[in-house]
């Protein structure tokens, strides 16, 4: 069952009001009351081109079911809450690792019109949580093959995987009505089943003063909508985008999320690629997204391929089993979330600014070598109260 709930510890009457008005908007009656917004409950995300693209229990189903969007409404606290997202996923038959997003757009007329037509809005999606599905968690966690492939150091396969993210800095986006999207890059007709919720929790007394923050979406290269194509321009050179500030921002921070993909053994998925970040033509950061702890997620990957590799043990060469999910990857692991990298920008004046991302060793995209990077960026800063109306 797929449903949306807005609940708190307030009166039963208010709980009923929020469930009924969840798509229209309602505010928390008490700034000290925790609020949970159940966005998805057993929601299927699967590639089903033979299914009509119609609303599904309040969701608009796009790109043959790989992207689901709905309009929701968050509470408007008088004081500063902590906001978190929680996503739980189980395979419904898809055995592969696929990239996924929980994302948001503001509820403005342009965005609303584009989404109603199934088109990409002009503003990039703001990522709330990026994740990578593991190999077949849940669906392939039982049965003789699962037991045969289970390493001795894992007592049992997990039946689901769960991720959480702190979204407190995105509070301006998550108050009142907004659009929320759930995307999985699946090509399986079975796909995955997802539960998702947002939580607003009062903070300690000394942190209760609400922060006047501004969130500026800047970039998102993930192909989400059917009218978009896979973004492959990083192999051609630096990629730039401009954004305009109507007011000065203090203590600005760039939130940058990036993952490399390309399934062949020497592709961008398995090759460390340095990223160079420039703001207004000046370099501000460089780093190489890389995860070398993927073996720690083995319990979530029952359908990963398994083979042996030679290694040394006490001076002898032996064959040791290794799973495809164990290999290091470009900023992610099968079954992991992908936290944003935070870059301090300091003070930003009003006006137009240019963000540039360079990935000099990104490889070209081809039918036999499908290399690409999914890069998302947004900026969060403090509004300088009193300088602008």
Domains of the chain: 1-211 (2.60.120.1570), 212-292+328-389 (2.60.120.230)
Which residue stretches of the chain are H helix?
12-20, 109-116, 144-149
Which 3 state secondary structure label does DSSP give 146? helix
Measured CA distances, 79 to 32, 74, 82, 206, 250 (Å): 8, 14, 10, 11, 21
183: phi then psi, degrees, rounded to nearest 5: -130, 135
**Residue 117, both tokens:** 């037509």
β-partners of residue 89 are 161, 194
**Residue 29, both tokens:** 């009656």
Cα–Cα dist 172/252, whole Å: 15
Start-to-end CA distance of the chain, whole Å, equals: 45
Contacts of residue 88, defined as CB under 8 A and 6 or more positions apart, other chains included, come to 160, 161, 162, 194, 195, 196
Q: In sequence order, what E strands does 174-302 have?
A: 176-184, 192-202, 213-220, 239-245, 249-261, 275-279, 282-287
Which residue stretches of 9-167 are H helix?
12-20, 109-116, 144-149
pLDDT tens, position by position, for the chain (389 residues)? 443 444 333 322 222 333 333 343 444 444 468 999 999 999 999 999 887 555 567 899 999 999 999 999 999 998 889 999 999 999 999 999 999 999 999 999 999 999 999 999 999 999 999 999 999 999 999 988 899 989 999 999 999 999 999 999 999 999 999 999 999 999 999 999 999 999 999 887 666 678 789 999 999 999 999 999 999 999 999 999 999 999 999 999 999 999 999 867 789 999 999 999 999 999 999 999 999 999 999 999 999 999 988 888 898 988 888 999 999 999 999 999 999 999 999 999 999 999 999 999 999 998 888 899 999 999 999 997 655 44
Q: What is the pTM of this model?
A: 0.89
H or E stretch including 41?
strand 35-45
User: Among 330, 339, 345, which Cα is nearest to 250's?
Assistant: 345
H or E stretch including 227?
none
């Amino acid at each position: 069952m797929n449903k949306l709930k807005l609940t708190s510890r307030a009166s039963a009457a208010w709980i009923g009001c929020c469930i009924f008005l969840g798509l229209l908007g309602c505010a928390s009656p008490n700034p000290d009351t925790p609020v949970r917004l159940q966005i998805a409950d057993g929601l299927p995300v699967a590639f089903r081109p033979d299914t009509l693209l119609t609303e599904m229990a309040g969701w608009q189903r796009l790109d043959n079911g790989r992207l689901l969007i709905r309009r929701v409404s968050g509470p408007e606290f008088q004081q500063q809450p902590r906001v978190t997202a929680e996503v739980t996923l189980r395979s419904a038959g898809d055995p592969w690792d696929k990239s996924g997003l929980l994302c948001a757009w503001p509820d403005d007329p342009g965005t609303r019109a584009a989404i109603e037509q199934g088109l990409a809005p002009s503003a990039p999606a703001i990522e709330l949580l990026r994740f990578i599905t593991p190999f077949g968690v849940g669906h392939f966690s039982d049965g003789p093959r699962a037991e045969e492939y289970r390493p001795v150091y894992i007592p049992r396969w997990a039946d689901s995987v769960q991720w959480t993210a702190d979204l407190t800095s995105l509070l301006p986006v998550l108050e009142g009505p907004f659009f929320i999207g759930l995307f999985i890059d699946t090509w399986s007709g079975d796909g995955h089943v997802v539960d998702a919720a947002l939580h607003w929790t009062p903070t300690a007394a000394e942190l209760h003063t609400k922060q006047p923050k501004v969130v500026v979406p800047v970039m998102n290269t993930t192909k989400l909508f059917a009218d978009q194509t896979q973004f492959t321009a990083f192999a051609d050179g630096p990629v730039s985008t401009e954004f305009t500030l109507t007011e000065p921002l203090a203590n600005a921070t760039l939130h940058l999320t990036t993952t490399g993909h390309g399934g062949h053994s020497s592709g961008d998925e398995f090759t460390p690629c340095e990223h160079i970040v420039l703001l207004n033509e000046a370099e501000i950061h460089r780093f190489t997204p890389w995860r070398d702890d993927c073996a720690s997620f083995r319990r979530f990957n029952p359908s990963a391929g398994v083979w042996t590799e030679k290694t040394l043990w006490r001076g002898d060469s032996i064959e040791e089993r290794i799973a495809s999910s164990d290999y290091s990857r470009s900023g992610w692991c099968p079954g992991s979330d992908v936290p944003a990298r935070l870059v301090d920008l300091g003070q930003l004046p009003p006006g137009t600014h240019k963000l540039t991302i360079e990935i000099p060793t990104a490889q070209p995209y081809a039918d036999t070598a499908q290399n690409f990077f999914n890069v998302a960026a947004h900026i969060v800063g403090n509004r300088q109260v009193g300088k602008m109306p």
